[in-house]
Structure 1
Amino acid sequence: MSRRLNEELESYLVFLLARGCAQTDLLERVVALEYLRGLESRDAARKERLREVGDHCLLFAGLFPHLARKRLISISYFVQLGCNAYRLLAETLNHTAARLYCELSCTFVMLVDILHSMREQQGAPCLSPIEAMDLWQETGSEHALVTLRNYTGSRAIVTSMRDDPSEYH
């Protein structure tokens, strides 16, 4: 799984990680409520809330999957919500700004895969076998498939049951 991000996505991810480290309330938020507030908001507040939801979901799904587990929420839920937040944000912006958030929505799963790979450089898998199966089936995550194969020691895993790999984009 060696993919390269374009410079714009790479910069966004780096700045997101820096901002995320400075946020002390990141893990306390109820992201579904923030998403609904974003949908109900107007203009600048809507844009800011949708961006925050997308960012929060990306950090949570990619860096803190164990906390999703504690909350009894699947990682794919955060992937779906984050993709939708970025997509809706892209629809409200002008062409130049919209392109970035459209790309974030379309590459959300890959970005989560990258963050999972970063976490695993510490030595332990960040997904349980069931989480890997769910994430792979729901999102087509390549990293989840590799993790699943590592757990099972098998290459005989069929392709994802998802009909459309661009479903969340």
Structure 2
Amino acid sequence: MLLSEKTPYVSAEISLFEKLVGAGEDKSRITLPLQLHGFLVACLVEHLRDTRILSRVLAVNLLRSTELRGRRASVLLKRAGDEALLLAGLYPERALRLHVSSTYFRHVGQTAYGSLAARLQSTGMRESGKFYDHVAENFCSLEKVLNGARAEPSGPWEAWRRMLASLQ
């Protein structure tokens, strides 16, 4: 575990998601680089109370970002990438309900993070741009770790739905 549970400066949410990401790494047999591990924990904490993530149209923020400039566009791109990552990793069966390919979330997320990287690099924020480029390149690994962190199916119907989602 990267963060000590005893440290008063570590919130309960961070400690919980640290364990969740660690379990996902173990189950998926993927060891994320430290930066990506921390990014995934921060992403989970940031969207902890976002109850509308399952009902929003994913590509809207991606499309809106093309109309805006500066920080607002960057925020929308990051939000689109984060939401796509969480949906791809934690709720892949959502693609079945939306009648889209299971790779839809992955493509939207990689596009959002890649666009954010290009935008940051073009505005002189090279290190941040390189980081989000790294996130886009490793999107599949991040997705697999989140998928590994999911609880075991509670019954045959849920196992069947998960299997269908993974085949699409």
1:61 maps to which of 53, 63, 88: 88
1:32 maps to which of 36, 42, 59: 59
2:147 maps to which of 116, 120, 125: 116
Partner of 2:19: none
Matched, 1:101 2:118: no
1:13 maps to which of 40, 43, 52: 40
TM-score norm. by structure 1 comes to 0.72
Q: Work out which structure has the larger RCO, using CA pairs closer than 8 Å and 6 or more positions apart in sequence.
A: 2
1:79-133 CA-partner distances (Å, limit 9, x unpaired)? 0010010001001111110121011100001111111111144666586444323
Residues 115, 84 of structure 1: alpha-carbon distance in 2 compared, 3 angstrom cutoff: same
The gaps in structure 2 that reach 5 residues or longer are 1-27
How many percent of aligned residue pairs carry the same amino acid? 28
2:117–2:132 Cα contact (<8 Å) kept: yes
TM-score norm. by structure 2 comes to 0.72
SS at match of 1:25: coil
1:66–1:126 Cα contact (<8 Å) kept: no
Question: Aligned pair count?
Answer: 134
2:92–2:166 Cα contact (<8 Å) kept: no
**Separation (CA, whole Å) in 2 of partners of 1:20 and 1:43:** 22
RMSD: 1.9
Shift of 1:28: 1.7
SS at match of 2:53: coil
The gaps in structure 1 that reach 5 residues or longer are 135-169
